Structure 1
Amino acid sequence: MTAKAPEKIEIGNPNLFFDRELSWLDFNLRVLEEAQDQKNPLLERLKFLCITESNLDEFFMVRVAGLLNLKRAGIEEQSLNGKRTSEIITELYAKVADLVKEQYACLNDILSELKKNHIVIVQDPTDLRGEDISFVKDYYKREVSSILTPLAIDPSHPFPHILNRTLNLGITLYSDDDKNKVKELFAIVQVPSVLPRFLQLPQKDENEERRYFPLEEIIKLHLSDLFYGMNVKQIHTFKIVRDADISINEEQNIGDLLTTMKNELKNRMWGDAIRLDVHSGAGHIKDMLRNLLELDDFQVMEIPTLLNLNDLMFFQSLRKTGHLKFNFPPPKAGFALKKSESIFSEIRKADHLLHHPYESFKSIEDMLKIASQDPKVLAIKMTLYRTSGDSPIIQYLGEAAENGKQVTVLVELKARFDEERNIRWAKKLEDSGVHVVYGVVGLKIHCKMLLIVRREDDKLNRYVHLGTGNYNSTTARFYTDLSLFTANQEITEDVAILFNTITSSGKMPKLTRIYAAPKFLKEEFIRLIQRELDNAKAKKEARIIFKMNSLVDPDIILKLYEASQAGVKIDLIIRGICCLRPGIPKISENIEVRSIIGRYLEHSRIYHFHNAGNSEVFLASADCMPRNFQRRIEVMFPILAEKHKKRINKIFELLLRDNTQARVLLPDGSYQRLSPGDDDPAVNSQIDLVEI
Structure 2
Amino acid sequence: MAQHQLNGSGTAPVARSSNPLDPALFINRELSWLNFDERVLEEARDPSNPLLERLRFLAICASNLDEFFEVRVAGLQAQLYDNLEPQDAPPDGMGPLSQLTEISRRAHDFVGRQYEIYRTEIHPQLAAHGIHVCGPDELSETQNAFLDKYFDWQVYPVLTPLAIDPAHPFPHLHNKSLNLILRIETIGQDPPRQLYAVLQVPSVLNRLVPLPDEGDGQRRFVLLEDVIGPRLDALFGGFKVAARAAFRVTRNSDLTIQETEVKSSLLSTIQETLRQRKWGAAVRLEISDRADEGFLAQLQTAPALDLDDRDVYKVSGPVDLTALVALYKLEGFRELKEPAFEPQIVASLANRANVFAAIREQDILVHHPYESFGSVVQFIEQASEDPQVLAIKQTLYRTSDDNPIITALARAAENGKQVTALVELQARLDEENNIVKARALQKAGVHVVYGMVGLKTHCKAALVVRRDHDGIRRYVHLGTGNYNPTTARFYTDLSLFTCRSDFGEDASALFNLLTGYSQGHGWHKLIVAPMHLADRITALIDRERSNAERGLPARIIAKMNSLVDPGAIEALYAASQAGVRIDLIVRGICCLRPGMPKLSENIRVISIVDKFLEHSRIAYFQNNDAPQVFLSSADWMPRNFRRRVEIMFPIEDPRLRNRIVDGILGVALMDNVKARVLQPDGTYRRIASAESGEPVVRSQVEFQNMARELSSTDPIRPVTPLGTTQAGVFR
TM bin, normalised by shorter chain, reads: over 0.9
Kindly provide the amino acid, as one letter, of the partner of residue 36 in structure 1: R
Aligned-pair distance for 1:458? 5.9
Kindly provide the amino acid, as one letter, of the partner of residue 24 in structure 1: W
Higher mean C-alpha deviation, range 420-429 or range 318-327: 318-327
Higher mean C-alpha deviation, range 67-76 or range 649-658: 67-76
Alpha carbons of structure 1 residues 453 and 74: separation in structure 2 relative to 1, 3 Å: closer
The equivalent position to 1:136 in structure 2, one of 126, 131, 147, is 147
Aligned-pair distance for 1:202? 2.0
The equivalent position to 2:117 in structure 1, one of 91, 106, 112, is 106
Q: For residues 440-497 of structure 1, what are the alpha-carbon distances to aligned partners after superposition, in whole Å with 9 as ceiling and x for unaligned?
A: 1110110000000011236211010000000111111111111100011111111111
Aligned-pair distance for 1:509? 4.1
Alpha carbons of structure 1 residues 127 and 555: separation in structure 2 relative to 1, 3 Å: same
The corresponding residue for 1:626 is 638
The corresponding residue for 2:349 is 336
Q: Distance in 2 between matches of 1:459 and 1:210?
A: 62
Aligned-pair distance for 1:336? 2.3
The corresponding residue for 1:412 is 424
Q: For residues 497-543 of structure 1, what are the alpha-carbon distances to aligned partners after superposition, in whole Å with 9 as ceiling and x for unaligned?
A: 11111100434744111100000111100111111011000001100
Q: For residues 49-86 of structure 1, what are the alpha-carbon distances to aligned partners after superposition, in whole Å with 9 as ceiling and x for unaligned?
A: 10111110111111110100110024687621121210
Percent of counterpart pairs with the same letter? 47
Q: Distance in 2 between matches of 1:94 and 1:472?
A: 37
Aligned-pair distance for 1:263? 2.0
Aligned-pair distance for 1:218? 1.1
Higher mean C-alpha deviation, range 546-555 or range 670-679: 670-679
Higher mean C-alpha deviation, range 448-457 or range 505-514: 505-514
CA RMSD between the two structures = 1.6
The equivalent position to 2:93 in structure 1, one of 82, 85, 109, is 82
Aligned-pair distance for 1:428? 0.8
Q: What TM-score comes out, normalization by structure 2 length? A: 0.91
Q: Which secondary structure state, in structure 1, belongs to the residue aligned with residue 689 of structure 2?
A: coil
The corresponding residue for 1:3 is none
Q: For residues 325-383 of structure 1, what are the alpha-carbon distances to aligned partners after superposition, in whole Å with 9 as ceiling and x for unaligned?
A: 1113211112326666x422221221011111111000111111111111110000000
Kindly provide the amino acid, as one letter, of the partner of residue 165 in structure 2: D
Mapped contact 1:9–1:561 kept (Cα < 8 A): no
Mapped contact 1:173–1:230 kept (Cα < 8 A): yes
The corresponding residue for 2:287 is 278
The corresponding residue for 1:687 is 701
Aligned-pair distance for 1:250? 3.3
The corresponding residue for 1:675 is 688
Aligned-pair distance for 1:259? 1.8
Q: For residues 286-314 of structure 1, what are the alpha-carbon distances to aligned partners after superposition, in whole Å with 9 as ceiling and x for unaligned?
A: 12101112111111001111101111011
The corresponding residue for 1:185 is 195
Aligned-pair distance for 1:127? 1.4
Structure-to-structure mapping, 1:312-331, within 5 angstroms: 312-331=324-343
Q: What TM-score comes out, normalization by structure 1 length? A: 0.96
Q: Distance in 2 between matches of 1:434 and 1:656?
A: 44
Alpha carbons of structure 1 residues 413 and 39: separation in structure 2 relative to 1, 3 Å: same
1:450 aligns with 2:462: yes
Q: For residues 144-182 of structure 1, what are the alpha-carbon distances to aligned partners after superposition, in whole Å with 9 as ceiling and x for unaligned?
A: 00000011100000000011101100011111576x443
Q: Distance in 2 between matches of 1:10 and 1:449?
A: 39
Q: Which has the higher contact order (CA 8 A, sep 6+)?
A: 2
Kindly provide the amino acid, as one letter, of the partner of residue 134 in structure 1: A
1:364 aligns with 2:376: yes
Kindly provide the amino acid, as one letter, of the partner of residue 157 in structure 2: S
1:603 aligns with 2:615: yes
Q: Distance in 1 between matches of 2:624 and 2:644?
A: 32
Mapped contact 1:397–1:407 kept (Cα < 8 A): yes
Q: Which secondary structure state, in structure 1, belongs to the residue aligned with residue 452 of structure 2?
A: coil
Mapped contact 2:187–2:240 kept (Cα < 8 A): no
Q: Distance in 2 between matches of 1:313 and 1:434?
A: 37
Alpha carbons of structure 1 residues 52 and 388: separation in structure 2 relative to 1, 3 Å: same
The corresponding residue for 1:155 is 166
Q: Which secondary structure state, in structure 2, belongs to the residue aligned with residue 146 of structure 1?
A: helix
Mapped contact 1:62–1:243 kept (Cα < 8 A): yes
Q: Distance in 1 between matches of 2:205 and 2:460?
A: 37
Q: Which secondary structure state, in structure 2, belongs to the residue aligned with residue 677 of structure 1?
A: helix
Structure-to-structure mapping, 1:166-177, within 5 angstroms: 166-175=177-186
Kindly provide the amino acid, as one letter, of the partner of residue 695 in structure 2: P
Q: Which secondary structure state, in structure 2, belongs to the residue aligned with residue 365 of structure 1?
A: helix
Kindly provide the amino acid, as one letter, of the partner of residue 27 in structure 2: F
Q: Distance in 1 between matches of 2:340 and 2:458?
A: 29
Q: Which secondary structure state, in structure 1, belongs to the residue aligned with residue 74 of structure 2?
A: helix
Aligned-pair distance for 1:280? 0.7
Mapped contact 2:355–2:378 kept (Cα < 8 A): no
Q: Distance in 2 between matches of 1:365 and 1:247?
A: 31
Kindly provide the amino acid, as one letter, of the partner of residue 659 in structure 1: N
The corresponding residue for 2:712 is none
Mapped contact 1:258–1:438 kept (Cα < 8 A): yes
1:518 aligns with 2:527: no
Aligned-pair distance for 1:253? 6.2
Q: For residues 630-683 of structure 1, what are the alpha-carbon distances to aligned partners after superposition, in whole Å with 9 as ceiling and x for unaligned?
A: 000000000011111110112111111100000000001110001112632211
1:94 aligns with 2:109: no
The corresponding residue for 1:211 is 220
Structure-to-structure mapping, 1:343-422, within 5 angstroms: 343-422=355-434
Q: Distance in 1 between matches of 2:620 and 2:510?
A: 24
Q: Distance in 2 between matches of 1:326 and 1:666?
A: 30
The corresponding residue for 1:557 is 569
Aligned-pair distance for 1:233? 2.3
Alpha carbons of structure 1 residues 209 and 346: separation in structure 2 relative to 1, 3 Å: closer
Alpha carbons of structure 1 residues 489 and 618: separation in structure 2 relative to 1, 3 Å: same
Q: For residues 580-636 of structure 1, what are the alpha-carbon distances to aligned partners after superposition, in whole Å with 9 as ceiling and x for unaligned?
A: 001111000000000000001000000000001000000000000000010000000
Where does the alignment leave 5 or more consecutive residues of structure 2 unmatched? Answer: 1-16, 707-731
Q: Distance in 1 between matches of 2:83 and 2:619?
A: 40
Mapped contact 2:41–2:61 kept (Cα < 8 A): yes
Mapped contact 1:251–1:441 kept (Cα < 8 A): no
Q: Distance in 2 between matches of 1:87 and 1:509?
A: 46
